[in-house]
Every structure is written in structure tokens, then in C-alpha cells.
Chains A and B, each alone.
Chain A
Amino acid sequence: MRKASWFNIGSLALGLAFLYLPIVILVIYSFNASRLVTVWGGWSTRWYAELIDDRAMLESAWVTLRIAFLSASAATVLGTLAAIALVRFDRFRGRVLFSGMIYAPLVMPEVIIGLALLLLFVAIDIDRGFWTIAIAHTTLITCFVTVVVQSRLLTFDTTLEEAAMNLGCPPVKTFLTVTLPLIAPALASGWMLAFTLSLDDLVVASFTTGPGATTLPIRIYSEVRLGVKPEINAACTILIALVAVGIVCASLLTKFHDVGRGGVAGLAAR
């Protein structure tokens, strides 16, 4: 039955071309010597050299990485706890509200989340900047970690935990020595997904930012609004390369397939 028909191969090939072509073009044009982005002036790395001198851009990159690291780590803890609560505890007070709050941010338009969080920060009167973005991102990405970890917990063999407990292992130790190592790959891919989502976010960061905390997407966005620039092509290419390296590293740690699954399939796995 599994014959790859020409129609199937064709639609797959076209789909993949559609997905990859714009990125490939962007990367190629980042090596364009000409300042006019549409005229090919030969190969050159001058835009990369100019980028290294761009202090503001580097500073934004550093802020963005720190926020992404912090919020991905916090979201992994919160998201894992939430996943355990959803999978293991059948009923508790307010479970409907709980699962509602978990799944809603997956699809909720970002402008609403951004505005709502900003108004909260104004209401409790805290200085906006690094920490408010980190809190906002943690809230935004926790649900993605939950979905990824949850799908791992659902296929989890609970007899292993029971065996440990029958042998007199206390619950906390069982969790640390049996459960945690077994769900670790899901935590890793959940963390990675959360990290990239935080790196990527423009809308929520724009609402919750303050003086001194201009993240990379905010900076790139303000440049892009003014038109295409070769430096931005170079910056984007570096980001793409970083993500690619990250995925390769993760694939060496876990199976490649798992990392992919941790991504969108976390949402789709059903």
C-alpha cells in the first residue's frame, strides 16, 4: 500500500521548497557585497564585520539571551509541575479553570496577553524592563512546556514508580531518581522550545519592556520597518545558524526525532 505516488512526492517537494526558499535567499543575500539589497554585487562578509561593531545590536542580543534563559528555565519548572498535576491528579478543586489557563495561552492572540500583562505591571507599580519581560515570557511559554511534558507522561510506565515505592523509596526520592530521569528528554525539548519562543517574541516583549531592555526582536523590528538592510540580513543569518547549531547539539543529546516532536508536534501530538 505504501507506494509514494507522484502526487504525494510533488506536494511534499513543493511544500518543502515553499518553506525553505525564502530562508535560503535571505542567507545568500547576507553575503551580498552590494549595499542595494536587490542587486547582486559578489560575495562578501562585510555586513558581518559591520555587525560586530554594532554595540547596540550586541547589547540587545545579550539581554535577549539572558531573558530567554531565565524564562525558559522558570517555565520548565512551572510547566512540568502543571503537566504532572494534569496527568496524575484526576480531580482537584478548580481543575477546569486550571486546564483552561494552561491551554488558553497556546492560541490566545499575543496582543491581548501583552496588553493584559502590561496593565498588571502598571497596576502593581513595578519598574518595567528586564524582569517584567522575563515574567511575561515565562507566563507565555509555560503552556508549551506543559504540552510537551504531558505527552511524555501519558506514555509513562507508572509501574516503575510503584516498584520503587514498594521497595520503601519515599515519594520525593522516587520522583528524583525514577521519574525525573525518564522524563528528562521531554524536559530538554520543552526547555529548548521555550527558549526559542522567548528569543522570538516581539509582541509581548514590546508591551512589557521598559528603558534599557531592548530585546533583539524589538530592535530588528524597528530596523525592518525602515526597510531591508544588508546588516539585518547578516544578523538574521547568525540567528538562523545559532538555532541550527542548537538543534544539532540537542539531536546529539537526544534522538533527532524527539527534538522535532518537542516542537510543534507537542501541540499536535494527539
Chain B
Amino acid sequence: MTRAITQRSWGERLIVLVPYLWLATFFLVPFLIVLKISLSHTAIAQPPYTPVFDPGAGWNALAQAVSMLSFENYALLGSDWLYLASYLKSLEIAGGSTLLLLLIGFPIAYGMARAPRHWQPVVFVLVVLPFWTSFLIRIYAWINILQRDGLLNQLLLALRIVDEPSAWLSTDTAVYIGIVYSYLPFMVLPIYATLEKMDETLLEAAADLGCPNWKAFWLVTLPLSRPGVIAGALLCFIPIVGEFVIPDLLGSSQTMMIGQTLWAEFFANRDWPVASAVAVVLLCLVVVPIVIYEQMQTRDLARRT
């Protein structure tokens, strides 16, 4: 039930106002500050930038401040190959691992949805459970396995698949493994949610009309699972582009992903304006998928109310 009354009581206004103000203060305003600082000059000071303007100083000062805005940080991002390389690297890893997640996650979701009814809650909990353990711990667990004298190499040597231990850690392979491992529930669950709701009589109809199983899968199941696939892909792709922990712990230090570059600019170089500019460009990379994701959420909400 929704109320279309325009005149609202104070209580109802508060319900909207309290979270609204919180998010505006701690989510929206900070982004404007990032934008502002990305346009200011780097300075060796604390905080390490020259403020662009003082909001208390009135319109004249504001006009003057606008004329002082500097795009030098963005020019730096464009001119230094390092930044472009790490943006491309992020997109490549995010795209590749989303594809991998889809290839691995879909069969799992399909298996879950086709499991006998009374098994489903158990299987569901089994898939969700690792998600509750710490993200950092799960990545750390892989360091145990992937390091040079780790279990993977011991196993491969024992099975005589390789003759000498190969380097797994600090490679892109390790990053892909870590990402697929951490994000798998985010891919599996949306797909499972759509497959579970699918009307199975459609498949029976297809079978009755002589359609072979693989063709029914291709023509019926796959198109119907599309919303879940898109939601899963977005839930994985967007955060992976800005991922920091996984490439930092498992990846090589040669080509950094953009999250690592931002981190390094901020913590190691203490160059806040450049870090802010990196963040703004990163935001531009993910803003289109985020808008698509939000529209899906809003449409979904509207459909269900």
C-alpha cells in the first residue's frame, strides 16, 4: 500500500528526513569535496593541498575561485602512461573475472535451482555461509595455498604434473582466483533467484513439443534468467573495477589496478589532489553500470509495491 497524500505528519517527514540528511552529509557532500580537491593544487602542507575556496567568502570570492580551478591533476593522469595502464588493467581484470564468474556461477546456480525442493534451503545456506567469514581471511587463505612452497605446488609436485614449483602468487592468475572466489556468491544468488522462480511447466511444454533438453535450455531457461545474469554481472563488475585488497595481496606489483594506484597516491605519495582526480575518473568508469543497476533496483521495487 502506498499513500499519495501530499500533506504529511511530522513523524512521516522525519522518517524520510533522518536517513536523507545522513546520506547527504556523509555520502553526497564528500563526493563534492573529492571533486573540489581534485581541481586544486598540490602543496607540501597539512592537509597537503591548497584550498580552492572558502564557502564563507561570498560570490566574488567564489567567482575568483572558479577562475583558479586547475586541471593539472587531470592533465597528469592523461600524460602519464602509468595511470592509463592501471585503468585499462582494472577494466581488463574486471571484465575477465566477471565472465569467469558467469561461467562458473551459472552452473552452480542452475544446480541449486534444480536440486530437490527439500534440499534447497540447505544448499542455499552452504553457498551463503562463506560470505559471512571475513573477506580478508578468505584472501589470506589463498596466500597459504598459492605461495611458492604452498599446498598447490606441493600437490602438483606430488602428482608429478610439474617438475619444479611454479610461481602462482603475484600473478594475474592469483588475482583472478581471488576475485572469483570472493565474488562468487554475488553472481550465484541473483541467478539462482531468477531460476528458482522460473515456471517449470514451460520446460515441460517444450519437452512435450519435442524440443531436446539442450535446446530448451538455450531457448527457454537462458533468456528467462537474463535479469539475474545482468544483476549478478553488475554486482560483480562494478566493485571489482575498484578492487584494492585482492590485487594488493595476491597480484604482482608491476601493473597495478586503479584501486591500488589511488591507494599508493594517497598513502605513499601523500598526493591528495591526484588521488582525488584518480577517484573521479574511476567514478566516471563505473557510473554507467551503477546507473543501470540503480534503475533495475528501482524498477524492481516499483513492480513489487
Contacts and interface: CB of A to CB of B under 8 A. Distances in A.
Are A and B co-members of a single complex?
yes
Interface of A: 1-2, 4-5, 7-12, 15-16, 18-20, 22-23, 25-26, 29, 37-38, 78-79, 81-82, 84-92, 94, 97-113, 115-117, 119-120, 122-123, 135-136, 138-139, 142, 150, 154, 158, 171-172, 196, 199-200, 202-203, 206-207, 217, 220-221, 224-225, 228, 232-233, 236, 239-240, 243, 247, 256-257, 259-261, 263-265, 267-270
B107 interface: yes
B112 to A, nearest CB: 7
A115 B235 contact: no
Interface string B140-154: 111111010111001
Contacts, number: 307
Given A5-B114, A260-B128, A101 B154 contact: no
Contact of A270 (B131, B132, B190, B283): B190
B129 interface: yes
B300 A120 contact: no
Contacts of B279: 111-112, 115-116
Interface residues on B, range: 35 or more
B92 interface: no
Contact of A142 (B4, B23, B114): B23
A47 B60 CA distance: 65
B282 interface: yes
A110 B136 CA distance: 14
A90 B3 contact: yes
B192 A111 contact: no
Contact of B181 (A1, A22, A94, A108): A22
Contacts of B231: 268, 270
B153 to A, nearest CB: 9
Interface stretch (B70-78, B115-123, B218-226): B115-123
A83 to B, nearest CB: 9
Interface stretch (B27-35, B61-69, B81-89): B27-35
B44 to A, nearest CB: 16
B242 A119 contact: no
A203 B259 CA distance: 10
Interface of B: 1-4, 8-9, 11-12, 15-16, 18-20, 22-24, 26-31, 33-34, 37, 47, 104, 107-108, 110-112, 114-117, 121, 123-138, 140-145, 147, 149-151, 154, 181, 184-186, 188-190, 192-194, 200, 203-204, 227-228, 231-232, 234-235, 238-239, 241-245, 249, 259, 262-263, 266-267, 272, 275-276, 279, 282-283, 286, 289-290, 293-294, 297-298, 300-301, 304-305
A102 B27 CA distance: 10
Contacts of B3: 88-90
